[in-house]
Structure 1
């Protein structure tokens, strides 16, 4: 896997028979599908796309040119992380990531829906801070408080139980990025461990889930990308390794 993001004029890499996910390295929605593929130990190829200068062929896989898109047969694809992830869980049922109980599956979807206000606040804080309103900070913390209450109510290590599941992999990419906000001068978005003790424990547990650990990025890395995007020149190819864990990024050798 290369961290290079292909762009307009670049040739589509040859298809080699594996599932192929079109993504963007810093996209939380694409990360959701990467985590599910990792969790299920499915062999796949990963192709990163420059979303500002999209290669012409991405529209053959995703009509709007959005990521993620999953090529399941040569030239045939589905798109949207929620659609992809449910498909993967049903197509490869050996390690189910969704609850078997229909009510619990519905409750998991409600958790994700209730968390959407925190996600929206994050995007404004990270990429359009001049439009930030006090109610957005409130919505952010309301989302965190709701998630912590759900963890307390369920009384399990992960929302899915003893092991991380689809609801955890759906929420995690945003929690991962939330940690970068204080580094961007948004201290009001800090996840204070004294206030969010259970949630902080959950975040640390998620960092060590193998599917997450092999792909997630450090807060400093997310902050650096966010700054480049906010300036109008996103540095898609800033990484010099194929995966950077949720630790401090390695320094380049002098």
Structure 2
């Protein structure tokens, strides 16, 4: 098993004859698509990319060199996690991750949109702390409060219902990373156990979802990568254990 990130000068691995996702191991947007692939139990290969020294061929699949990008046929790809995930859910409908109700689908999209301010505050706190303002902390907690209110209003195990769905897998990667902020000295971003009881309970059940268990990382691991990136030398290969790009299927959690 390898989590090596390919970089400038590295050859493109041979096409595996199945879905192939170009990603970065610590990217929350790429994780969204990994979770959807896992949840839908689709066979796929995962190829990690060094985003600071990108291999030349990644631009064939993603014009801006961003991840994730999904190669759905040899040499043909789509990019952007939202586009990829809706495509996967519609292309492979056996395990549906979206509500059949158009209104609920719209509500899910609005929830994700409203949570964007918390995501933006996270990036400032994690990677640009010198620019951190009280308004960032305020926006972060507003986002958490809105999410918790929605969790309480829906009254279901997951936002999608009895099983996690696209809305859950879209929000989760950031919640996973939020837990690393106090470890980076950002105590103002911690989850207060009393204030966020419902949100914390939701996060705990998300951690038990098989698709999440197969890929999530511990807060300490996210903190370690964040520190390396904030210093200008991101340690992309901190989890690598061999020289072979892995064929990814749902697997045991890495800590």
**Band the TM-score falls in, shorter-chain normalisation:** over 0.9
Residue aligning to 1:51: 51
The answer to whether residue 199 in structure 2 is matched with residue 199 in structure 1 is: yes
Residue aligning to 2:80: 80
For structure 2, the 5+ residue unaligned runs are none
- Deviation of residue 16 (structure 1)? 1.7
Residue aligning to 2:8: 8
Residue aligning to 2:253: 245
Q: What does the per-residue CA deviation read over 1:101-135, in whole Å, with 9 as the maximum and x for residues that have no partner?
A: 00000000000000000000000000000000001
1:23–1:49 contact (8 Å) kept in structure 2: yes
- C-alpha RMSD of matched pairs (Å): 1.1
What secondary structure is seen at the aligned counterpart in 2 of 1:216? Answer: coil
Q: What does the per-residue CA deviation read over 1:163-221, in whole Å, with 9 as the maximum and x for residues that have no partner?
A: 00000000000000000000000000001121100000000000010000010000000
What secondary structure is seen at the aligned counterpart in 2 of 1:56? Answer: coil
- Deviation of residue 245 (structure 1)? 2.7
Q: Distance in 2 between matches of 1:90 and 1:223?
A: 35
Q: Distance in 1 between matches of 2:228 and 2:240?
A: 16
Residue aligning to 1:169: 169
1:216–1:244 contact (8 Å) kept in structure 2: no
1:62–1:69 contact (8 Å) kept in structure 2: yes
Residue aligning to 2:17: 17
Residue aligning to 1:188: 188
1:218–1:244 contact (8 Å) kept in structure 2: no
2:35–2:169 contact (8 Å) kept in structure 1: yes
Matches of residues 89-238 of structure 1 in structure 2 within 5 Å? Answer: 89-238=89-238
Q: What does the per-residue CA deviation read over 1:129-180, in whole Å, with 9 as the maximum and x for residues that have no partner?
A: 0000001100000000000000000000100001000000000000000000
- Deviation of residue 226 (structure 1)? 0.2
Q: Distance in 2 between matches of 1:240 and 1:198?
A: 36
Q: Distance in 1 between matches of 2:24 and 2:159?
A: 26
Task: Give the TM-score taking structure 2 as reference length.
Answer: 0.95
How many residues align? The count is 247
- Deviation of residue 240 (structure 1)? 4.2
1:67–1:79 contact (8 Å) kept in structure 2: yes
For structure 1, the 5+ residue unaligned runs are 250-254
The higher relative CO (CA closer than 8 Å, separation ≥ 6) is in 2
Q: Distance in 1 between matches of 2:65 and 2:217?
A: 24
Q: Distance in 2 between matches of 1:102 and 1:228?
A: 43
